[in-house]
Chain A
Amino acid sequence: MKKIILILIINFLTFSKLFALIEIDITRGNLDPLPIAISPLHVDIKSENYEGIKIKELGNDISKIVENNFRSTGLFNPLKKEAFVQKPDIAHLKPRFEDWRLIKAQALVTGKILVKDGKLKVEFRLWDLAAAKEMTALAFTTTPSNWRRVAHIISDKIYERLTGEEGYFDTRIIYVAESGPKNQRVKKLAIMDQDGAKTKYLTLGNELVLTPRFNPTNQMVTYMSYFRNMPRVYLLDIETGTQEVVGNFPGMTFAPRFSPDGKKIVMSFAKDGNSDIYTMDLESRVVERITDHSSIDTSPSFSPDGKFIAFNSDRSGLQQIYVMRSDGSGVKRITFGNGIYGTPVWSPRGDLIAFTKMRKGRFYIGVMRTDGTGERLLTENYYQEAPSWSPNGRVLVFYRETKAGSKGEGFSAKLWSIDITGYNERRLKTETDASDPSWSSLLSK
C-alpha cells in the first residue's frame, strides 16, 4: 500500500513538472528574459462610456501597463504587438498556439473588458504556449476609474504564476519630491504608483520634510518635518490628510519607522548631543526608551516578526550596523567589513538586511544576512543611500545624487531600483527630483 502511495506521489510530481513548462528562476540574475506576448484586452462592444475614460482605448492602455511592468522586472521580454497574429477576442477564447510560437513567444496574456452600469468587468488568461494550455485565469469587477490598478493586479497574478513569488506591481512609493537650487531645496512629500503614474503631492513645500515611511496597511505615513522649525516625527493619514506630532519630546525626533504590526513607531530622539532609539505605542501613547548609550543610535528598522531591531550606531567610533532584541537587550554589532555602514533595513522576508556602505569616497547599496555574513554589494556610485524593499523582498528602491559643480550646478537626486541579484538597475520615473523612497506593501491584499 505504502509503495502505491509513493508511486502516486512520484507520478504526481513528474506530472506537474511536465505541465509547468515555463517557470522563471528569479534567484539568479536572469540574462535571458522570457519572451511573453501581452495581447491588448478585447473591449466588449456593449461597453458604455464612463466619466471621461476612453473606453475604446482601455484594452490597449491596460495591456501597455502590464507590458511596462513586465519589462521593468528584467525577467521578461514583452514582444512587439505588430507581430501579433490573432485578434484579441479570438485569442482570448482559444489561441492558435502554433502561430504564437512562431513569433517566439513562450507565454501569452489575453483578456477582455466590459464597462457597463458604472462597473468595469475584467477577465484575463495566461497561456503556456509550449504546453498549449491555459495556466491561470481570473475575472473580477471594480469601478472603471480603477483601471490602472486592474493592470497592476493582472501583472501581479501573472508574475506570481510564472515566478512562484508574490508580485509587487499593485503598490505605491512615497518619497520626497525635490526642486530648486541645491542650497535652497524645496521638499514635499509625494506619492505615486510603483510605475511612476498618478503622482500626488501631500505637502506644499513650506517646511522641510524628510524620510516618509508607510505603515503596513499603507494608510498612514510617518515622516520627519521641520514644521515651525521644530524637527519632529509626524504621523500622516493619507486619506484624510490629518497630521500629528508623534510623542511629546523636548527635542529633535527623527528616523521613524513603523513596527510590523503597525502599532508602534520606532525612531531616534536627540538630546544634549546624544541620539537614542525610542518607541511610541500609537494607541496607548506609551514611550519606551530602547537604547541608552552615549553614542549616536539611529536608523532603527524592525525585523518582520517584530522580535529584533537593526540600527545604526557609532559606538565603535564610526557608523556600523547593530542588531538587538526589540526591548533593547542583546545588542550585537554585525558589520565588520572595510568601510562604514548605515541605513539598515530588514527585508520583508526576514532573511536579509539592506544597507548603505561608504568606502573610499564611494557609496554602495548592498544586502547581507541578518548576522552580518554574506555581504553582497549590488551597486556602486558617487552618492546613494536609503534602500527600501519591494514587498516581495526581490527589489530595492533607493536614491542617488550626482556630483555638483562649483556653483551647485549639475546636481540631481533620482530614484533607482535594483534586483537583489545585482541585475536590472534602472531609474524610476518621477515628475521632479526625488529622494527617500519608501515602498508600500501590496494594496490589494
Chain B
Amino acid sequence: MIFNKNLKNVLLVIFATLILSACSTAKKSGNIDGDVYTGKDTVEYLASGVPDRVFFATNKSSLTTASRATLRKQANYLRKNKKLTVTIEGHADERGTREYNLALGERRANAARDYLMTYGISGKRISVISYGKEKPVNPASSPLAWSQNRRSVTVKVN
C-alpha cells in the first residue's frame, strides 16, 4: 500500500515534469521564457558583469532563477562598494489599469530589495520607487516589449 502510494507520487512528479517541460518549450520563443524576458537587449550594467535589471511574469512579482542570480551579483557589488546607495525602480507593462500597476511596480521593486537584503545589504541603502506603466523601456505594443517593460531596475543614487 505504502509502496503503491510512493509509486503514485513518483509517477505524478514525472508526469508533472513532463507537462511543465512541454509548457516551457512550447512558450519559449526568442528572448521570452514563459512570459519572462530572458534577453539582454535593454539591460544596462551597474559595473562590468553586474546587470541592472530583472524581469517578471505578467501580474507577478516573484523572482526567477535568473533574476536571483542577477540580484546576487548586485548584492556582491554593493558589498564591495559600501558607500553606494541605490534606488530600485519597479515597472509594469501597459496591459493593466494604471492604479493597480503602480502597486504592482512597488511590489516588484520590493521583491528585488528584499532579496538584496537577505544577502546582507542594509535596507537603508536601498530606496524603491514605482513608476507603474508610466516609463516603458520599449514603447512597442507587443509581447516582447511588455516582457521587457515588466522589470525592476537598480539605479545608483550617489
User: Which residues of A are at the interface with B, using a C-beta cutoff of 8 A?
Assistant: 181-183, 185, 208, 210-211, 224, 229, 231, 251-252, 254-255, 268, 270, 272-275, 296, 298-299, 312, 314, 318-319, 342-343, 356, 358, 361, 382-383, 385-386, 401, 403-408, 411, 435-436
**Contact pattern, B 8-38, Cβ under 8 Å of A = 1, otherwise 0:** 0000000000000000000000000000000
Residue of B nearest to A272 (CB): B110
Shortest CB–CB separation between residue B114 and chain A, in angstroms? 7
Q: Within 8 Å CB of A405, what residues of B?
A: 140-141
B156 CB-CB contact with A under 8 Å: no
20 additional contacts (CB under 8 A) given A270-B130, A296-B100: A251-B106, A254-B103, A268-B99, A268-B103, A270-B103, A272-B110, A273-B111, A273-B114, A275-B106, A298-B102, A314-B59, A318-B59, A319-B59, A382-B141, A383-B94, A401-B94, A403-B141, A405-B140, A405-B141, A411-B139
CA distance A361 to B95 in the complex (A): 8
- The answer to whether A208 touches B134, judged by C-beta atoms less than 8 angstroms apart, is yes
Residue-by-residue, is B120-139 near A (CB-CB < 8 Å gives 1, otherwise 0)? Answer: 00000000011100111111
Residues of chain B in range 38-81 having any CB-CB distance to chain A below 8 Å: 59, 61
Do the beta carbons of B129 and A229 come within 8 Å of each other?
A: yes
* Cα-based distance from A385 to B132 in the complex (angstroms): 15
CA distance A343 to B96 in the complex (A): 10
- When distances are taken between beta carbons in the complex, the residues of chain B under 8 Å from A183 are 135-139
Contact A252 B59 (CB under 8 A): no
Q: Number of B residues contacting the other chain (C-beta, 8 Å)? A: 30
Q: Return chain A residues, CB-CB under 8 Å to B135.
A: 183
B89 to chain A, nearest CB (A): 10
B96 to A358, Cβ gap below 8 A?
Answer: yes
Give the distance in Å from the alpha carbon of A270 to the alpha carbon of B103 in the complex. Answer: 7
List residues of chain B with CB within 8 A of the CB of A182: 136, 139
Tell me if B139 and A407 are in contact (CB < 8 A).
yes
Contacting residues, chain B, for A312 (C-beta < 8 A): 97, 99-100
Known: A299-B97, A318-B59, A386-B98. A252 touches B139 (CB 8 A): no
Which of B61, B102, B134, B139 is the one whose CB lies under 8 Å from A408? B139
Q: Does A436 lie within 8 Å of B98, measured CB to CB?
A: yes
Closest to B99 in A: A255
Closest chain B residue to A382, Cβ basis: B141
Contact B136 A319 (CB under 8 A): no
Q: In the complex, which residues of chain B have a beta carbon less than 8 angstroms from the beta carbon of A181?
A: 139
List chain B residues, Cβ under 8 A from A318.
59
- Output the least CB separation between A93 and chain B (Å): 54
User: Is residue B107 contacting chain A, with contact meaning CB distance below 8 A?
Assistant: yes
* Smallest CB separation, B142 vs chain A (Å): 7
A6 → chain B, closest Cβ, in Å?
A: 55
B140-156 vs A: 1/0 string, CB under 8 Å? 11100000000000000
The 3 A-B pairs with the shortest beta carbon distances in the complex, nearest first, are A408-B139, A273-B110, A342-B97
B130 touches A385 (CB 8 A): no
**Whole-angstrom distance between the Cβ of A210 and the nearest chain B Cβ:** 6
Cβ B102 vs Cβ A231 within 8 A: yes
Among B100, B102, B142, point to the contact of A252 (Cβ < 8 A): B102
Q: What residues of B have a CB within 8 angstroms of the CB of A406 in the complex? A: 140, 142
* Contact between chains at A342 and B100 (CB < 8 Å): yes
Closest-by-CB residue of A relative to B130 is A252
A147 to B54, CA, bound (A): 57
Tell me which of A183, A229, A356 has the highest count of chain B C-beta atoms within 10 A of its own C-beta: A183
Contact residues in B for A358 (Cβ distance below 8 Å): 95-97
Q: In the bound complex, do residue A298 and residue B59 qualify as a contact, i.e. CB atoms below 8 Å apart?
A: no
Instruction: Closest A residue to B59 by CB, please name it.
Output: A318
Cα distance, A385 to B104, chains bound together (Å): 17
A298 to chain B minimum Cβ distance, whole angstroms, is: 5
User: Do A252 and B129 touch (CB < 8 A)?
Assistant: yes
CB distance from A239 to the nearest CB of B (A): 27
* A211 and B98 within 8 A (CB): yes
Measured between C-beta atoms, what is the minimum distance from A362 to chain B in Å?
A: 10
In angstroms, Cα B96 to Cα A336, docked, is 18
Q: Which residues of A contact B136 (CB under 8 A)?
A: 182-183
Least CB distance, A175 to chain B, in whole angstroms:
13
CA A356 – CA B140 in complex, angstroms? 23
Between B131, B137, B138, B140, the greatest number of chain A beta carbons within 10 A of the residue's beta carbon is seen for B140
**Chain A contacts of B142 at CB under 8 A?**
406
A255 and B104 alpha carbons, distance in the complex (Å)? 13
Q: Which of B94, B99, B140 contacts A254 (CB 8 A)?
A: B99
In the complex, A358→B101 CA distance in Å?
14
Q: For the complex, what is the distance from the CA of A403 to the CA of B141, rounded to whole Å?
A: 6
Partner of A231, one of B114, B129, B137: B129
Shortest distance between the CB of A131 and any CB in chain B (Å):
49
Tell whether, in the assembled complex, residue A342 and residue B106 are in contact, meaning their CB atoms are under 8 Å apart.
no
User: B100 contacts A319, CB within 8 Å?
Assistant: yes
Residues of A within 8 A of B137 (CB): 183
Q: Are B107 and A296 in contact (CB under 8 A)?
A: yes
Judging by beta carbons under 8 Å apart, are A298 and B100 in contact? yes
Residues in B neighbouring A231, C-beta threshold 8 A:
102, 129-130
CA A381 to CA B114, docked complex, whole Å: 38
Q: How far is the CA of A349 from the CA of B60 in the complex (A)?
A: 36
Within 8 Å CB of B140, what residues of A? Answer: 404-408
Chain A residue at smallest Cβ distance from B136: A183
Cβ of B100 and Cβ of A299 under 8 Å apart?
Answer: yes
**A270 contact from B96, B102, B131, Cβ within 8 A:** B102
User: Distance (Å) between the CB of B47 and the closest chain A CB?
Assistant: 24
